Structure 1
Amino acid sequence: MSFTLAIVGRPNVGKSTLFNRLVGKRVALVDDQPGVTRDLREGEARLGDLRFTVIDTAGLEEVTDESLQGRMRALTERAVGMANACLFLIDARAGVLPADEVFTDILRRKSARVILGANKSEGTAAEAGVLESYALGLGEPVRLSAEHGEGMSDLYTALAPLIEEAEAREIEEAAPETDVEVDEDDAEEGPRVPTAARPLQIAVVGRPNAGKSTLVNAILGEDRLLTGPEAGITRDAISVALDWQGTPVRIFDTAGMRKKARVQDKVEKLSVGDALRAVKFAEVVVVLLDGQAPFEVQDLKIADLAEREGRAVVVAVNKWDLETDRQGRLRALKEQFAHVLPQLRGAPLVTVSALTGRGLDRLHDAVMSAYGVWNRRVSTAKLNRWLAGMVEVHPPPAPGGRRIRLRYMTQAKTRPPGFVVMCSNPEKLPESYRRYLINGLREDFDMPGTPIRLTFRGQGHQNPFKGRKKKTPSRLRKHLGKKPLDG
């Protein structure tokens, strides 16, 4: 089990900046506006030779009700209870505030290991705040500057003994298991490994308040992500790794995407950008629709974005528990889906209820089916026999009286499936014929819903010397340049 460090503190003390510094890349949203972080974000930290898990938390607020700030505080306190140690950050320039003293008492009760960090301590303006922090009774503060990377060696000194102690305790607790006799046949089999070499990357996207975080919580079986009736709660693209019905996956919960014209706030722009990056790095994109208002214009744009990025797409209709005429409604949804998203014709469409957890088995099967089609490969021999049949049924056009010849076809890539057709005059082949071949590929090779890339190339791509003038050898040019001899 990896050592876990939770970074906690008031809003805007630099928790996310320090988190990005420890994981070595900018993954958490950072802005001068307080309260940007709302969910728990985990990352693999590297500090010298130390390797541990770090958790970025929401800013602690002095509220305990069911408001958004109260739920954020409850989630942060839960992270404190889960972590092996806590790094309590204060703003050294602002000094110790009354809220810092309140949270110090909370940390004393909930965590046995607390490291005090005085962030933004570069320069003389922070000296008074560092001295004030001794009054919190958490020991000598670690002077840090998360933005400039100062004080990392001091943080290493404070963390190293705690990590060594945790590792020693883990070895000691596991020691009795080594005395158990193991059958030789069982020992040779080794530990059970996941079926995939790496987890399947899944991004859950949709409009605000469609229920994305609630759906991810239902898949996890715990309230890991912040949820509520307010729209736009999620800001970061939070990733969670789990074993989903025997499949190792990493699910990205993303911020709700509104119309671009309505996105004016800087933090919301950063959130949407984070969601778009999650789509680009995902393998399967689950487009979550609100069952009470499905297939809005923004839903169509989000689904089209996933298709243009070449991701496998699954459309999930949420809040199905509120539907009364489910059979009739499902038929209408499928007809509407085929009409408004023809580029994703045949993609899985499933109904779920994130609130009750119904339909998650169907969603898992749909994700695995879409992923399998996304990775499908067809042999060259089958493709060329298929291409000959398609040309015989519907020959390509003959612009200027000369028919375009489709000579050869092969699959160049998967994820998504990409095909190349060698032909004459590819620039004169109309888009309608491209669609004819793509629809045929979907139907004849059982590739519904997945993006298909079809490229036409001329013979000039095979011969790099085509079109180049022949050059006369230099010796011959020299000989031809001489005048003939007399006589």
Structure 2
Amino acid sequence: MSKTPVVAIIGRPNVGKSTLFNRLVGKKLALVDDRPGVTRDRREGDATLVGLNFRIIDTAGYEDEDAASLPGRMRQQTEAAVAQADVALFMFDSRVGLVPLDEEIARWLRGSKTPVILVANKAEGKAGADGILESLSLGFGDPVELSAEHGEGLVELFDALLPYIEPEKNAAGEDIPHGLDEDEEYAPDAPLKLAIIGRPNAGKSTLINQILGEQRLITGPEAGITRDSIAVDWIWHDPEREHGEDARKVRLIDTAGMRKRANVQDKLEKLSVADALHAIDFAEVVVLLLDATRGLESQDLRIADAALQEGRALIVAINKWDIAENGSSLFNGIRGALEEGLSQIKGMPVLTVSGATGKGIDTLLKVAFETRDTWSHRVGTGELNRWFEKAVEANPPPAPGGKRIKLRYMTQAKTRPPGFVLFGTRVDQLPMSYQRYLINGIRRDLGFGAVPVRLTLRAPKNPFDR
């Protein structure tokens, strides 16, 4: 199978790169705001344009700053994106016209080996006519005039991309449809969707860079560097599998650090936190990353509870273990606090890792795959009801007001997360304590371990209700 073409969008801050990215991928994946510098890491997505299928990269606004500074580290990510791209879309704001930074970017691009397509954004109406005329001095030919916000000019963009990207055909000579199905059925060899969540500066981006073996995400001492949730596809070679069968696909999702809600006042940080919560929705397994130098805080429990409320399988990883002090007491203290603070889930995996040295990464990925298998497990109706009859016989439901609650049978209605339906009469009066008894038994006896299990109560319709 041929390599998917890669297109990078570059330009100075706030010219509309993320808006075009969202339009081409068909989803609002990248955060968009009026202020410059919203995008920091490079974000990738699968794009389609009139039958052209390609990988699109949204980059941070190019700024001429010292390489050690945050803008300088952002620029390095942009340069890496252009180096791997088959073609670059150099975007400028046609209404503002060219500014010195545009000319600096043009000089840099003329020295690169990547073909460049000049894109004049915000060109709706005649407001950008002067800027478009001025852009001819950059030496990239006539710009593609478009409006990323309103979707104008996309046919012209298609014509400009066509020499670099051929429409994919199937055996019958028809265009191959494009797009990922987020609701695809579970298959053991499907990519593991693994989200890393936690408080700011817990080391999420550093850990992912260590896993990937490259500086894919921007890191540094500043808290809150990550804003968008960034998904990166990767192949993990499982050391416990035979060669040739060891390649396992992983989609790693880095998220913005989540502070206490009372401390989040900035609009952009609110968008970043909302984006992180949205990333949890699309994950299968969520890793809550703790900072070993700070231990477990109440905010960590809130973040973990948010993942469990969404029904996601949860793993707790203690990062920076290479510099932790009093490791044994720290580990036992965190485990005990988790058992108390997240009492709805018992036996949750707690691991130690180091984003700096790579310690514990293979164990983390192995447990993540095992946890996904458990989260996707389905038990047969016969086996389930044999267990159910024994559970009810060992501990019959109470009889509130002297009236018996009759529990008839149970079925597993769904997986990912596991969901069960309990049928019976007067189940609306079944105490929560008894429901927890059943859920804990399902986890303990039927192989669901420490994953969220949901129980729904159903009563037959009463023909005399009317």
Query: Would you say same fold, with TM above 0.5?
Result: yes
The residue type paired with residue 318 of structure 1 is N
Measured at CA, do residues 380 and 112 of structure 1 come closer, stay the same or move farther in structure 2, by a change above 3 Å?
A: closer
Q: Does 1:136 align with 2:133?
A: no
Give the match's secondary structure for 2:384.
helix
Measured at CA, do residues 98 and 338 of structure 1 come closer, stay the same or move farther in structure 2, by a change above 3 Å?
A: same
The residue type paired with residue 210 of structure 2 is A
State the match for 1:467 in structure 2.
464
State the match for 1:341 in structure 2.
342
User: 1:442 and 1:159 mapped to 2: Cα distance?
Assistant: 53
Q: Does 1:157 align with 2:185?
A: no
Q: Does 1:361 align with 2:362?
A: yes
User: 1:398 and 1:151 mapped to 2: Cα distance?
Assistant: 69
Equivalent of residue 62 in structure 2, options 51, 60, 63: 60
State the match for 2:232 in structure 1.
240
Equivalent of residue 208 in structure 1, options 158, 178, 200: 200
Shift of residue 468 of structure 1? 6.0
Equivalent of residue 83 in structure 1, options 82, 85, 88: 85
The residue type paired with residue 380 of structure 1 is T
User: 2:411 and 2:92 mapped to 1: Cα distance?
Assistant: 61
Shift of residue 139 of structure 1? 1.5
Contact 1:350 1:366 in 2 (8 A): no
Runs of 5+ in structure 1 lacking a partner?
168-193, 470-487
Report matched runs for 1:60-209 at 5 Å. Answer: 60-164=62-166, 196=188, 198-209=190-201
The residue type paired with residue 341 of structure 2 is V
The residue type paired with residue 351 of structure 1 is T
User: 1:85 and 1:452 mapped to 2: Cα distance?
Assistant: 47
Contact 1:64 1:73 in 2 (8 A): no
State the match for 1:309 in structure 2.
310
User: 2:340 and 2:441 mapped to 1: Cα distance?
Assistant: 18
Q: CA RMSD in A?
A: 1.9
Contact 1:195 1:247 in 2 (8 A): no
Provide Cα deviations, 1:274-295, integer angstroms capped at 9, x if missing partner.
1111111111111111112232
State the match for 2:34 in structure 1.
32
Shift of residue 56 of structure 1? 0.5
Aligned residues: 438
Shift of residue 382 of structure 1? 2.6
Give the match's secondary structure for 2:163.
helix
Equivalent of residue 213 in structure 2, options 196, 208, 221: 221
Q: Does 1:280 align with 2:272?
A: no
Shift of residue 196 of structure 1? 4.0
Give the match's secondary structure for 1:289.
strand
Measured at CA, do residues 455 and 21 of structure 1 come closer, stay the same or move farther in structure 2, by a change above 3 Å?
A: closer
Contact 1:120 1:146 in 2 (8 A): yes
Give the match's secondary structure for 2:422.
strand
Shift of residue 197 of structure 1? 5.4
User: 2:404 and 2:336 mapped to 1: Cα distance?
Assistant: 38
More helix by share: 1
TM-score by length of 2: 0.90
The residue type paired with residue 159 of structure 1 is L
Contact 1:38 1:233 in 2 (8 A): yes
User: 2:376 and 2:77 mapped to 1: Cα distance?
Assistant: 38
Report matched runs for 1:324-339 at 5 Å. Answer: 324-339=325-340
Contact 1:16 1:28 in 2 (8 A): yes
The residue type paired with residue 447 of structure 1 is F
User: 1:47 and 1:458 mapped to 2: Cα distance?
Assistant: 50
State the match for 2:20 in structure 1.
18
Percent identical pairs in the alignment equals 55
User: 2:405 and 2:51 mapped to 1: Cα distance?
Assistant: 63
Q: Does 1:388 align with 2:380?
A: no
User: 1:58 and 1:111 mapped to 2: Cα distance?
Assistant: 20
Shift of residue 324 of structure 1? 3.6
Give the match's secondary structure for 1:343.
coil
The residue type paired with residue 220 of structure 2 is G
Contact 1:61 1:69 in 2 (8 A): yes
Contact 2:205 2:254 in 1 (8 A): yes
The residue type paired with residue 302 of structure 1 is I
Give the match's secondary structure for 2:226.
coil
User: 1:361 and 1:351 mapped to 2: Cα distance?
Assistant: 11
Runs of 5+ in structure 2 lacking a partner?
169-185, 238-246
Measured at CA, do residues 346 and 120 of structure 1 come closer, stay the same or move farther in structure 2, by a change above 3 Å?
A: same
User: 1:149 and 1:131 mapped to 2: Cα distance?
Assistant: 22
Shift of residue 445 of structure 1? 2.1
TM-score by length of 1: 0.86
Provide Cα deviations, 1:259-281, integer angstroms capped at 9, x if missing partner.
11221111111111111111111
State the match for 2:241 in structure 1.
none
Contact 2:67 2:76 in 1 (8 A): no
Report matched runs for 1:291-310 at 5 Å. Answer: 291-310=292-311
Provide Cα deviations, 1:122-177, integer angstroms capped at 9, x if missing partner.
2222111111111111222221211122222222222111225x99xxxxxxxxxx
The residue type paired with residue 232 of structure 2 is V
Measured at CA, do residues 225 and 36 of structure 1 come closer, stay the same or move farther in structure 2, by a change above 3 Å?
A: same
